[in-house]
C-alpha cells in the first residue's frame, strides 16, 4: 500500500504522529509519504519509516500535481483542518481522518465538564489505520536527529557535560503556557545542577535574563540552535524541565525524564508526554482545582482573568526539588 499522512504543524504534533508511520511500515510494509510545511520537514526527513516527504511553504498548489501522480491507496488525515480538506478533495482518494474531539474540548474549557476519553492523542492518530488491522505496538514515540545536528555540549559551555545538566525549555507559542520570568528565576536559583536554557529567538531576552540572574549556573542557548540541535541538547541532558511545547514531546521521544509545567492547558486534553508501555517518566506540575483551568485548548496571549494564578501560584520549591530528585533516580 502507498499511504499519505497529513500533518502540517507543529513540532509536538508532528512528533506525536511518529507511531503511525512506524506501525504502518512495520505491520503492513506500506510505502509511507508525509505532507507537512517546509519549516517542519527537517523533523520528518531523518525518519526511516517515512519514504518520501512533501512540503509546502504556503499553499497545497505547490505540491498538488505531484501528489495526484502518486495515486495513493489511502490518505490518513492527522490534521483535519480546511487545508487538509482541500488536499483530500483534490486527490479524491480513500480517506480516514482522526477525531479532534472539539466538542469534548469545548465542554471542558467552557463548562468544566470533562468528557474527554482517558487516552492519548497518539491512540486517536492510530485509530485512523485501525480498519487496516494496524495496532499500537507499545514502543512510544520516535525522533531522529541527523548527524550534522548533533551538538558537542561541552563546546557550548564548560558548564555543560553530558548527563549532568538540566535542559530548561522556556518557550511555548502562547504566553499562558509559559511561566512568568520571575517564577523561572526562582526555580533556576534553587536548582543544584547546571542549566541549558532552550527556546527560540522570541525567548532570547528571557533566556539571557535567566542566565544573568541565576548565579552563573545557567547557559542561554535561546535562538542560537536549530530545533534539531536543541533536540540534541535535550537528548544529552539528565532531565528536562519544560512547558507544554514541542520539545516536551521530543524529550519523551528521546526517553528523557520530563518535569512538565502546565498553565492554561491541561494534560486531560491527551497531549502529555508519551512513553513506551510500562515506562512513566513524566512529572506534571500544575495547580489542581483552579476553577478557570483550562481556559483554552491552546492558550492565550494573556490570562483572561488577569491573575494568572495557574502559573504564578506554582510551588517553585516543589518544581526544583522534583528536577533535582530526577538526578537521584538516574544514579540509582
Mean pLDDT of 226-231: 98
Three-state secondary structure of 290-314: CCCCCCCCCCCCCCCCCCCHHHHCC
pLDDT at 324 over 60: yes
Phi, psi of 208 (to 5 degrees): -65, -40
Peptide bond into 68 cis (omega under 30): no
pLDDT the model gives residue 328: 75
Which grid cell sits at 13? Answer: 504534533
- How far is residue 12's CA from residue 98's CA, in Å, rounded to a whole number? 16
Which grid cell sits at 47? Answer: 525518519
Percent of the chain residues topping a pLDDT of 70: 99
Which grid cell sits at 246? Answer: 514541542
How far is CA 162 from each of CA 154, 260, 306, rounded to the nearest angstrom?
8, 21, 41
Mean pLDDT of 122-145: 98
Alpha-carbon radius of gyration of the chain: 20
Q: For all residues of the chain together, what is the average pLDDT? A: 96
* pTM assigned to the model: 0.96
- How far is residue 207's CA from residue 167's CA, in Å, rounded to a whole number? 12
Task: Give 35-92 pLDDT, tens digit per residue.
Answer: 999 999 999 999 999 999 999 999 999 999 999 999 999 999 999 999 999 999 999 9
pLDDT at 332 over 60: no
Task: Let me know if the fold of 2-129 is the same as that of 154-331.
Answer: yes
Q: Which CATH superfamily is domain 154-331 in?
A: Glycogen Phosphorylase B; (3.40.50.2000)
The CATH number of 2-129 is 3.40.50.2000
First to last CA, the chain: 46
Q: What band does 331 get if pLDDT is binned at 50, 70 and 90? A: low
Mean pLDDT of 23-30: 98
Task: Give 200-222 pLDDT, tens digit per residue.
Answer: 999 999 999 999 999 899 999 99
Task: Give 176-200 pLDDT, tens digit per residue.
Answer: 999 999 999 999 999 999 999 999 9
Residue spans of the domains in the chain: they are 2-129, 154-331
pLDDT the model gives residue 37: 98
Amino acid at each position: 500500500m502507498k499511504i499519505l499522512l497529513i500533518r502540517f504543524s507543529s513540532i509536538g504534533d508532528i512528533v506525536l504522529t511518529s507511531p503511525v508511520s512506524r506501525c504502518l511500515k512495520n505491520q503492513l510494509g506500506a510505502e509511507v509519504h508525509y505532507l507537512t510545511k517546509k519549516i517542519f520537514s527537517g523533523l520528518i526527513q531523518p525518519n526511516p519509516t517515512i519514504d518520501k516527504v512533501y512540503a509546502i511553504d504556503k499553499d497545497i498548489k505547490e505540491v498538488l500535481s505531484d501528489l495526484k501522480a502518486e495515486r495513493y491507496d489511502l490518505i490518513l488525515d492527522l490534521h483535519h483542518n480546511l487545508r487538509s480538506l482541500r488536499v483530500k478533495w483534490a486527490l479524491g482518494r480513500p480517506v480516514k481522518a482522526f477525531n479532534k474531539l472539539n466538542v469534548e474540548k469545548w465542554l471542558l474549557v467552557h463548562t468544566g465538564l470533562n468528557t474527554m476519553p482517558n487516552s492519548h492523542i497518539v491512540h486517536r492518530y492510530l485509530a485512523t489505520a485501525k480498519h487496516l488491522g494496524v495496532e499500537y505496538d507499545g514502543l512510544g514515540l520516535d525522533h531522529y536527529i541527523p548527524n550534522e545536528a548533533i551538538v558537542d555540549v561541552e563546546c557550548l559551555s564548560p558548564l555543560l557535560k553530558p548527563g549532568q545538566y538540566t535542559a530548561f525549555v522556556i518557550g511555548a507559542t502562547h504566553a499562558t503556557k509559559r511561566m512568568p520570568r520571575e517564577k523561572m528565576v526562582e526555580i533556576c536559583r534553587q536548582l543544584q545542577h547546571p542549566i541549558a536554557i532552550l527556546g527560540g529567538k522570541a525567548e532570547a531576552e528571557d533566556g539571557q535574563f535567566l542566565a544573568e540572574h541565576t548565579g552563573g549556573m545557567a547557559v542561554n542557548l535561546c535562538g542560537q540552535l536549530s530545533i534539531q540541535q536543541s533536540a540534541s541538547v535535550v537528548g544529552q541532558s539528565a532531565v528536562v524541565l519544560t512547558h507544554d511545547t514541542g520539545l516536551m514531546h521530543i524529550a519523551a521521544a528521546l526517553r528523557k525524564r520530563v518535569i512538565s509545567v502546565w498553565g492554561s492547558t491541561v494534560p486531560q486534553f491527551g497531549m502529555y508526554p508519551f512513553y513506551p508501555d510500562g515506562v512513566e517518566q513524566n512529572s506534571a506540575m500544575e495547580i489542581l482545582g483552579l476553577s478557570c483551568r483550562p481556559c483554552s485548548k491552546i492558550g492565550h496571549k494573556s490570562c483572561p482573568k488577569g491573575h494568572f494564578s495557574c502559573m504564578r501560584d506554582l510551588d517553585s520549591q516543589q518544581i526544583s526539588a522534583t528536577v533535582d530528585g530526577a538526578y537521584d533516580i538516574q544514579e540509582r
